[in-house]
Structure 1
Amino acid sequence: MSLILLLIIVLLLLGALPAWPYSRGWGYGPSGGLGLILIILIVLLVLGVL
């Protein structure tokens, strides 16, 4: 389960990087969404759900 979560986080990190010209205008949307997912995962880990 943790390996799958790690792979998803790595893919989200790669997708949040503004590496292409059309994605530079997206602002904080992709990285903000990734931050929200990371916060949820950390809370679930602290509570012992995962």
Structure 2
Amino acid sequence: MSLGTILVILLILILLGVIPRWGYSTSWGYGPSGIVGTVLVIVVILLLLGRI
């Protein structure tokens, strides 16, 4: 596995963890998932461009 693949897998797992669906995160709103989603998109773009 390359570093980029591992990063994408970790970011997807983090994104699933911050979705405000569970009891402990209902007051967070969509801020954390939006930030992690943005980072995930940036990493995927960098992977496609061959920078990672």
TM-score by length of 1: 0.67
Question: How many residues were matched structurally?
Answer: 48
Runs of 5+ unmatched residues, structure 1: none
TM-score by length of 2: 0.65
The structure with more helix, counted as a fraction of residues:
1
Runs of 5+ unmatched residues, structure 2: none
Matched ranges for 1:11-50 at <5 A: 11-18=13-20, 19-20=22-23, 22-50=24-52
The structure-2 alpha-carbon separation of the partners of 1:37 and 1:17, relative to structure 1 and needing over 3 Å to count, comes to same
Identity %: 48
Higher relative contact order (CA 8 A, sep 6+): 2
Structure 1 runs of 4+ with >2 Å offset: none
State how far apart, in whole Å, the 2-side matches of 1:42 and 1:10 are. 11
- Give the alignment's Cα RMSD to 1 decimal: 1.8
